Structure formats: C-alpha cells, structure tokens
C-alpha cells in the first residue's frame, strides 16, 4: 500500500514534538508539509521549534509559518505545560530555515498537486481553516482531517473547553462543517495515553538516537497533572498520528460534533455520543485506545530516527 500523503499543522509544543517525530518516522505517512501556528507558545517560538524538530529527524520536509493568532479573539499561550519556549526548555540544534510562503497557501498548493491528502491538525485550527475557506473546492481533495481537539466532558483550559478548540473555535467550526471526514482525538481519548514514570523508563531503555533522547528530555520537562492524581500526564497529539498508523488499537463511534463560539463556553465542543441531537454525524470520535500498544508503537518508531 502506498503511503498516505499528509500535511501536519502544529504548534510545538511538547506533545507536538513527539507527534511530529512519530509521523516522520513512519513509512505509512508521506509527510509533504509541516505548517505552524502560534499556540502552546507564540509563533516566534513554535516556528523555530518545528524547524528544529523536523531537522533533528533528518527528513527534508518543508516547514512553513502560519497564523500567529486566531481568526477572532486574542492569542494566549500555554506555558504552564509546555514552558515559555514551548518545548520545556530543551535545547535542540537549529533546523533548516522556514520554507518561503505562508501556511494556508502552502496547504492549498499540496491540495492542488495531489488528489488525496490527509490533514493532521494538532494545534489551533487557523491555518487549516484559512486554506479550506479561501478555496473551498479544494476540500474535495481532502481524504480525512484528523484533529487533536475538543472534549465531550470537561475542558483543560476552561471548565468546558480544550486548549486547541478554545484557541480558535471559529476555525474549528470551518473544519467540522467542510463536509469531509473528520476524526477527533479528544481529551477523553488522550487521557488514556498517560505518560507514567514506568512508560518513560521503557522508552528510555529502547536506546535510539538524538530524536529519542530529545523526546525523553521533553517528556521529562512536562509536569505531572493534577487531573490525573499526579500519576503522569496525557500525551495528546501523538494519538492523532497513531490513528493513521494503527487504527486497530482504537475503538470509535460516529458522532455529531459542533463547537461553541460565544459566551463563557466559547471553545467547548458539543459532541453527541448518543444520537440525542437528531443531527447527522459529521465526525468519527476516537473513543478508546489500547495504551500499551500505543506506547509500544511510539517507542518502536522513535527508535528508528537518527
Ligand atoms: C492540546 O493543546 C496543546 O497544549 C497540546 O499540544 C495539544 O495539542 C491539548 O489540549
Ligand atoms: Ca499541539
């Protein structure tokens, strides 16, 4: 089977770094482009982080700058989890310069050139939404949009909103309404991918090169989460990539998903898991994950990188 052509839109981000390395290490994916938004840190940090992460992998994938703020509303970073620099203060060798242009144009260029493209969104959805909203006919070429976003229960940045959805809900609404298959890795799914000291020790024992060493240093920088009784922290973004590599380790269900754009619940995703809204499904919800299989996959792939 030929590799899936994909674009990764990201805001590195500790877990984004792991997601990028997982994708770049995986022969099932043909990563044509990495686009970057401000998110976990400002674009002035996330762009060099993305360049460095791709550079360390040894893969020649263009990295292009995108939005430094959401379509509407104010930009807010998340330094409590990711550190002021976005990758927990871990120094990486500088990557190649950013490719010229701007994210939305570059995403559209890939869509014009290829008939089936998978879009992987692991940050605020601004760049992907701008690409599709500015040339809607290109949506026909989107094979699948896989997003780490949202939550069907409580949020992690407000009581009801998950960080990526809350960062740019209008853009997420564009993706949910574009008519192409959307797959959601929500907080309830990523909670099952808990990084624990035991799992870190297993990864450490795997050997590997500079990427795995950097991945471990980044993971060690992330504080254990109060929400999880300080047992560890969820590894959000690699879950979205893992879906494309090993769908058999997930349980799924079809849902209708929407996002609030107003009021105190701004950024809340309303996910109808039990067909109560009467609305047709517009998304595939990743409901459950075999966590041991997920961490084995992560280790097996990262060990293959330089
Ligand atoms: C999401 O928000 C970011 O902080 C993480 O990188 C992930 O994409 C989790 O809510
Ligand atoms: Ca992210």
**pLDDT tens column, 246-295:** 999 999 999 999 999 999 999 999 999 999 999 999 999 999 999 999 99
Task: Give pLDDT, residue 208.
Answer: 85
pLDDT band at 79 (very low <50, low <70, confident <90, very high): confident
Average pLDDT over residues 225-229: 94
pLDDT band at 113 (very low <50, low <70, confident <90, very high): very high
CA-CA distance, 73 to 124, in Å (whole number)? 13
pLDDT digits (tens, 9 = 90+) for 179-204: 999 999 999 999 999 999 999 999 99
Residue 1 clears pLDDT 80, i.e. is over it: no
Task: Give pLDDT, residue 160.
Answer: 97
* CA distance to 19, 37, 250, per residue, from 105 (Å): 23, 14, 33
Which CATH number characterizes residue 141's domain?
3.90.245.10
Task: Give pLDDT, residue 230.
Answer: 96
* Best residue for ligand 1 mutational test, from 123, 152, 185 (most atoms within 8 Å of Cβ): 123
* CA distance to 36, 63, 164, 283, per residue, from 139 (Å): 20, 22, 21, 15
Residue nearest to atom 10 of ligand 1 (CA): 163
CA-CA distance, 304 to 51, in Å (whole number)? 20
Active-site positions? 236
Task: Give pLDDT, residue 78.
Answer: 87
Three-class DSSP category at 157: coil
Task: Give pLDDT, residue 272.
Answer: 98
Residue located via tokens 């692991």: 122
Atom of ligand 1 at shortest range from CA of 156: 10
- Cβ contact 213:59 at 8 Å: no
Average pLDDT over residues 133-146: 97
- Neighbouring-strand partners of residue 65: 36
Domain range enclosing 199 = 4-302
* CA distance to 17, 161, 188, 195, 241, per residue, from 224 (Å): 18, 20, 17, 9, 23
Atom of ligand 1 at shortest range from CA of 13: 6
Atom of ligand 1 at shortest range from CA of 162: 10
CA-CA distance, 161 to 149, in Å (whole number)? 9
Q: Which residues line ligand 1 (CB under 6 A)?
A: 13, 15-16, 40, 78, 81, 122-123, 148, 156, 162-164, 236-237
- pTM of the prediction? 0.98
Average pLDDT of the chain, as a whole number: 97
**Domain total of the chain:** 1
Average pLDDT over residues 156-168: 97
Which ligand sits closest to the CA of 77?
1
Task: Give pLDDT, residue 80.
Answer: 85
Distance 155 CA to ligand 2 centre (A): 15
């Amino acid at each position: 089977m030929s590799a899936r052509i994909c674009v990764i839109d990201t805001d590195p981000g500790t877990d984004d770094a792991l997601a990028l390395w997982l994708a770049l290490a995986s022969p099932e994916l043909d990563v044509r482009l990495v686009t970057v938004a401000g998110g976990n840190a400002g674009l002035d940090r996330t762009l060099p982080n993305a360049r460095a992460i791709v550079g360390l992998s040894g893969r020649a994938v263009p990295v292009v700058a995108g939005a430094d703020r959401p379509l509407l509303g104010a930009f807010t970073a998340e330094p409590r989890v990711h550190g002021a620099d976005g990758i927990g203060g871990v120094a990486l060798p500088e990557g190649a310069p950013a490719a010229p242009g701007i994210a939305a144009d570059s995403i559209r260029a890939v869509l014009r050139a290829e008939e089936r493209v998978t879009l992987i969104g692991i940050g605020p959805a601004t760049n992907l939404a701008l690409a599709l909203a500015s040339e809607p006919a290109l949506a026909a070429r989107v094979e699948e949009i896989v997003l780490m976003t949202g939550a069907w229960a409580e949020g992690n940045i407000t009581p009801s909103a998950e960080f990526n959805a809350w960062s740019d809900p209008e853009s997420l609404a564009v993706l949910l309404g574009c008519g192409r298959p959307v797959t959601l890795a929500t907080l309830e799914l990523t909670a099952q991918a808990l990084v624990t000291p035991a799992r870190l020790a297993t990864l450490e024992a795997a050997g590997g090169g500079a990427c795995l060493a950097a991945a471990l240093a980044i993971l060690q920088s992330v504080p254990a989460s109060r929400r999880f009784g300080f047992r560890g922290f969820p590894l959000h973004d690699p879950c979205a990539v893992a879906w494309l590599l090993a769908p058999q380790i997930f349980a799924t269900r079809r849902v209708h998903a929407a996002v609030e754009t107003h009021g105190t619940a701004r950024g809340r995703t309303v996910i109808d898991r039990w067909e109560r809204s009467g609305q047709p499904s517009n998304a595939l919800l990743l409901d459950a994950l075999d966590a041991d299989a997920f961490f084995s996959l992560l280790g097996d792939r990262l060990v293959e990188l330089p």
